[in-house]
Amino acid sequence: MNENKANFAKIGFFVLAGTALIALAIGIAGARTFNKQVVEAETYFAESVAGLDLGSAVKYRGVPVGEVKRIGFVYCEYGKQRDDLLTKANAREILVVMELDPERFGLLRAPEADQVLRRLVQQGLRVKITSSG
């Protein structure tokens, strides 16, 4: 009888220890995802963005550097704060928000990534939609 209780205790210990190790592994993997630094950028399109979906790759010279996080209308994003925007032509533009990964886009590794991105735009960096494949 005592031998069975000892075996049940050992089995229980191993089950609890295994569960704790699995939870720890999930926690460590999740912490990497939640602590990941990204640079958010947005752009606007007057033409259709048909074929562009959430999660679509953002590439710089063919190298994946991020992904599309949000697609919507400029008015829906900013029009609530400015009623005059509805009458302007750009109210019908489409807003695309991207998350750029500084680990993959080395130019954005600096602490002043926003300033670097602004400088790149001033120097001619533009976003365009192309078909993949």
pLDDT of residue 110: 64
DSSP state of 103: T
Tens digit of each residue's pLDDT (9 = 90 or more) over 66-86? 899 999 988 777 766 656 555
**What does the alpha-carbon distance between residue 29 and residue 20 come to, in Å, rounded to a whole number?**
14
pLDDT of residue 112: 73
H-assigned helices in 35-72? none
pTM of the predicted model as reported, rounded to 2 decimal places: 0.64
Average pLDDT by stretches of 10, the chain with 133 residues: 69 88 82 71 86 89 89 79 60 85 74 78 83 70
- On whether the CB atoms of residues 46 and 93 are closer than 8 A, the answer is yes
